Amino acid sequence: MGQNITKAVKGMVADANKEITTIPISDALNLVDSPNHIIVDLRDIRELQRTGKIPGAFSCPRGMLEFWIDPASPYHKEIFNQDKTYVFYCASAWRSALSTKLAQDMGLAPVAHIEGGFAAWTKADGPIEEIST
């Protein structure tokens, strides 16, 4: 007998989106080089190498987010200890919605994510920084 999954990812993303701030792609395009924002790319390194990233975005693999945010964690990254707005994105805004909700629940503030993720960014002809292998 298989597992009985009672909470689907699609529902989790929808629930997260009710409680977080979503930045429209038209506004997100203006955040590159903003001194008040830290853009965080949650995709894994293979995705970044394949497609590039938003210029200046900080790469934080989704699996390390909690550990890098928590100042008590041995893996903490000081980039998550600044008085700036953290803007998360992934490929299509599912991981980033869940991550934004998680970061918000941990107390990181202010936080938001980019509507449509990197797919929307590329569709809007946003600038892309190539990642060397």
The domain segmentation of the chain, as residue ranges, is 14-123
pLDDT at position 65, please?
98
- Global pTM? 0.95
Q: Render pLDDT for 19-74 as a digit per residue (tens, 0 to 9).
A: 999 999 999 999 999 999 999 999 999 999 999 999 999 999 999 999 999 999 99
| β-sheet with 22-23: strand ranges across | 22-23, 111-114, 85-89, 37-41, 58-59
Determine contact, residues 68/75, Cβ cutoff 8 Å.
Answer: yes
**DSSP class of 63:** G
Task: Report pLDDT for 133.
Answer: 64
- Is residue 55 within 8 A of residue 127, CB to CB? The reply is yes
Q: First and final CA of the chain: distance in angstroms? A: 43
CATH number of 14-123: 3.40.250.10
